[in-house]
A and B are shown apart, each in its own frame.
Chain A
Amino acid sequence: MNLLEIQNLKVHFPVRKGLLGRGKEFVHAVDGVTFNIAPGETLGLVGESGCGKTTLGRAVIQLVPSTHGRILFNGEDISRLSATDLRSRRQRFQMIFQDPYSSLNPRLTVLECIGEALDIHRLAPDRAARRERVDKLLKDVGLDPSHADRYPHEFSGGQRQRIGIARALAVQPQLIVCDEPVSALDVSVQAQIINLLKDLQDAHGLAYLFVAHDLAVVEHISHRILVMYLGRIVEEGESKSLCRSPLHPYTRSLLSAVPVVDPDSKRSRIFLAGDVPSPIHPPSGCPFHPRCPMAEGRCKTEVPQLKSIGSDRTVACHLFP
């Protein structure tokens, strides 16, 4: 059975239309997304800023309410739970954030911060057990337990991200939503954190929803990848195969923008003109058509549906009928 099944999930935020605006408009941040995550699996989620990755990640674990759709966690629809029931399920899904500087409470020591997570879910019967558990968690994420009484500002960015991971791990979750956990870090530190996440997955059988905008990072950690554009999935596939032979023109442009060190690499850059359009008034037809180098007539009018190509690939593009 899948750990997580997301069915036609939508998250729309109301926005006020000017001061004297009549009626409401909506940001279509997530607009009909369907996917599954198996236990112990990593699903990568890529796309440019503003395409709805954070909103999707937060909606999946009900940190933002969904407008429509079902979120089945271990077969139970958590979008319909009462607040009390939801709170009791929270232990099963955790989140780690992009900014290791602002996601930790600066007034709590590492011990207090991780201990707090243990206390909320009553996972440590007494102080000694709590301390023992925190020490073990710190060791697991590669930090020195003797630093447990220090405050977040005494650590580097990479170390703070490790603290965030230890805090998420404390409650023994089955799923961690990782929202750009390495985007703010040095390249050398990125690699350390990604290796750590993989080790922890092997040791604890964790599943990850791993959000990032750099496909080289996502390819490395993910089993499968979802490519998102303006609130929708445009391509999904096994990660190596998707990066080797991308189908959707958007996936191809994302891949061609990945930084490459080798000055002789003979790759053609497909520069994406312009920015992601407004999700309040998404373009008609295929939302990518205004920036697509291959757009044809019907792309402006007909919305392409996700279709299966071969055994493990789906793509929403008129080029693949």
Chain B
Amino acid sequence: MPLLEIKNLQLEFGTVDRPHRVVDGVSLKLEAGKTLCLVGESGSGKSVTALSIAKLLPSPPVRYVGGEILLEGRDVLKMPPGELQKIRGGVVSYVFQEPGASLNPVFRIGAQIKESLTYHRPEKANDAEVIRLLKLVGIPAPEMRLKNYPHEMSGGMQQRVMIAMALASQPKLLVADEPTTALDVTIQAQIIELLQSLCEQLGMAVLLITHNLGIVGDIADDLAVMYAGQIVEVGPVRDVLKNPLHPYTQALIHSVPKLGRDVTRLTTIPGTVPNLGSIPSGCRFHPRCPKAQPPCSTEPPELMTLANSRQVRCPLWDSPNLNQPANGSL
């Protein structure tokens, strides 16, 4: 049994008359101790998918329209409130993009970690455990650091504190939503390295969300690519990066600037992620797709399962690239 299995999840915002389906049939699987990366441009529905794992999105405004979220085999969407409270920050912990915004500015960081311990493991709510956690996340001189206020730490150090707090409950699943997006590339490399070593040391599973494909190769086992509320490609990370099948995945990979590449223009994905109110008919990516054929604008493609644990939502995945890059509206 996988640690986490999301089956055909459907989420809506908006009114019942004019619903905005922001997650439309997402299925994902994550085994204990493994790392799954979820990538896609802003607005594709990564965060709402991640937040729904512990049912953190209040309803309303969101409506959980359909699907299941099985955590250790039990459906989170059907859990009574008391039980939900227990899995939040228990089995599942979260780390978000802005560590500065998630930490309380008026308390010392030691006290904040201790509070998290008091809640989940009261027998361990002491300085020794706080110091052990700070050491685990690579904070130097933890005995001194626990007396710091958040503003006395750099962004990278604050993110390490957030990870220490998330680890306080000894979660089986850590959901990290763009944990390095606000950080320098040097610090980003450190945090990714840290997450990777924590996975190995603690046997914890990680769902890592990012829009940057440049950081997934080092850490992920599997990679899922999301576009406009749907999964468009899933597979083992190496295979997907080496041989992406969906034109969107290919475009995302090509848009990462590469050092030492002597080109006058960077490759872009023309246009923008569609608005919620105006999801294109047929394949949602077709207006931006260099491979698009007439049927793509009318027939919504299914997610097809291929050999080697790969899935792709494009019937043209094995046809060669015939067209010139199409309708570059921007």
Contact = CB atoms under 8 A, between A and B. Distances in A.
Interface of A: 48-50, 142, 156-159, 186-192, 194-195, 198, 213-217, 219-220, 240, 243-244, 253-264, 269, 271-272, 274-276
Contact of B217 (A49, A157, A263): A263
Nearest to A162: B330
Contacts of B260: 219, 240, 243-244
A219 B265 contact: no
Given A261-B214, A263-B217, A275-B156, 8 more contacts: A48-B186, A49-B155, A188-B269, A198-B265, A244-B260, A257-B188, A269-B193, A275-B157
A274 B140 contact: yes
A157 B269 CA distance: 15
Given A259-B214, A261-B217, A263-B242, A243 B268 contact: no
B237 interface: yes
A259 B241 contact: no
Interface of B: 41-43, 140, 154-157, 184-190, 193, 211-215, 217, 237-238, 241-242, 251-253, 255-269, 272-273, 330
Contacts of A220: 257, 261, 263, 266
Given A261-B241, A263-B237, A275-B156, A191 B257 contact: yes
Contact of B41 (A49, A50, A186, A240): A186
B211 A261 contact: no
B157 to A, nearest CB: 7
A198 B237 CA distance: 33
Contacts of A50: 154
A257 B189 contact: yes
| Most B CB within 10 A of own CB, among A50, A156, A159, A188 | A188
Contacts of B255: 187-188, 190-191
B258 A260 contact: yes
A58 to B, nearest CB: 19
A248 to B, nearest CB: 14
Contact of A259 (B185, B187, B269): B185
Contact of B259 (A213, A219, A253): A219
Contact of A271 (B189, B267, B268): B189
Contacts of A158: 272
Contacts of B268: 188, 191-192, 195
B193 A48 contact: no
A186 B258 contact: no
| Most B CB within 10 A of own CB, among A158, A194, A216, A240 | A216
